[in-house]
Structure 1
Amino acid sequence: MAEMAVTVAGAAGTLRPCTGVSARGAAVLGRWRPLALAAPAKLRSSSSAVRVPRATSPAAVEDGSNTDTDPIPKVIIDQDSDPDATIVEVTLGDRLGDLVDTMSALKNLGLNVVKASVCLDSTGKHNKFSITKSSTGRKIDDPELLEAVRLTIINNMIQYHPESSSQLAMGATFGPEAPAEQVDVDIATHIDIFDDGPERSLLVVETADRPGLLVDLVKAISDINITVQSGEFDTEGLLAKAKFHVSYRGKTLSKALQQVLSNSLRYFLRRPTTEDASF
């Protein structure tokens, strides 16, 4: 396995200001950024066993001071900013440091962290990693591996900031304290589909988060012969927010097919199958 090369922006003890952080387009898109997924032919029909490496030493993470209100943990996966690497951004107010231990955990997934940086804005510290697959030197193109990356980061966040456990859906799986209240899936789930030119549609899904959700969403879409061209996946506390560009035979989805997709996803999200999940 190639050695992990890491470059941390900014001098010791200082943070550079974030750049390029702004609202994007329509309100429905919010802070989301595109995330390229694997071509449908490369998607496996079910989730394979994924080992989530755990952190081994908290020394590289700054101590989270007690505050009246704990910040909402956020994990953003960005496949658009860099043509050669997957960008992962982690935010937990001002409580996260350089996350060297998380980089080591990602390496155990067969990934290289080729660059890391920390920047600061009004929403807190943004820890960004540029990640490539060790075997190819390219960005991640497998939804199952992207989900493993997401769960690895969330697991390590909970290990060193246990106060975030009760604010994350994955706290029930990885953390010492599960969320006090479970999100009502029927209320939390919002599905919208828009035309986005003659060759694709935009699918926006917001729902209660759970392990394996990214893989399961892609599979549910592909199971009705709709192609996932690109997309993005954000984790914000108890919720997951996904955006996918989809098409049917190279064309935008008809109104009838949009309704089929919306109904299919809503049924799937209300009744998630967990017996085959290995997360």
Structure 2
Amino acid sequence: MILFAVFHVTDQQGNKLSDDGIAERIQQSLGPRARSFRSLRRSVGVQAAAEHTTIELTGRDRPGLLSEVFAVLSDLKCNVVTAEVWTHNSRMASVVFITDEATGRPIDDPDHLSKIKKLLLYVLKGDRDKRSANTAVSVDSTHKERRLHQMMYADRDYDMDGADCGSASDRSKPLVTVENCVDKGYTVVNLRCPDRPKLLFDTVCTLTDMQYVVYHATVIAEGPEAYQEYYIRHTDGCPISSEGERLRVIHCLEAAIRRRTSEGIRLELCGEDRVGLLSDVTRIFRENGLSVTRAEVTTRGSQAVNVFYVIDASGNEVKSETIEAVRQEIGSTILRVKEDFYSKSPPQEGVRFSLGNLFRTRSEKFLYNLGLIKSCS
């Protein structure tokens, strides 16, 4: 099967790409050396890689959990090089890259790794979580965000039974329809939600991890909303065959979109990196009644460049004086409040939609004329 696709892309600010190396890096990533992704098998994994040791965590989310995780790593003389944390539907998943505090090298001592896993598992389980009772050593190293999708999918964060879904989640709920196109033998997935960076990545990764093949697709991202249409079949060549499977696809796509639609106030920390910085920062969040809903931790040379999304741990609106107190304690010059650029107006509820009824972009016209896009309507 030959893949033919046309993409019109900009940077996150909507500007034309000026870096000539981006296209080259994309070509390299699509070459024969591109690596596949293996499914998650355990809830806590530790793996030695070339430059760091990778830790994977999944568990029930609760206020102060991230603070406890980073405190354990700090106590065990682990330096966090980079990390990403997602929360959704009362679940948490995290991928953390660490090195030995003393040597700056990957941690490969079996006893040390065993102790790390044991203590982190103890923190994750707490006294309520029954899903995170297993530990294992990972085999493959993968893209952090792709791995997080796999981890949360394996942890069934899309299962809404008994979920604590507040108003913030309702506001960000996408509209997803799944219908069979009987005469063509495809299942057609239509999706409409506020546009944001990496939305296409999130939806395609989810369909792939659910063992579906995308044969034709149309993506329109103009203005505040995004519209996506996928013609899919299962890897066995069959379209969706049951109501249960149809609902599962809808719930999984909704979850994939909402994992990155962060709730809370965006705090950006940029300053000199040091051992124990994350432990101290997240402890201050916890002591001031803040809970982290998502985090991106990066080290660039000697600088720490971190992003945290925080909410009030009691479920109340975060007070401005609380944020200012946190900034004063951490350092107002290195911790700044930023508007969440993912927050956009949701699509209207109850509106049926189809990309076949929308205006066609230049790339869509091109694919349509080639016969690669054909509406079922």
Query: With structure 1 as the length reference, what TM-score do the two structures score?
Result: 0.35
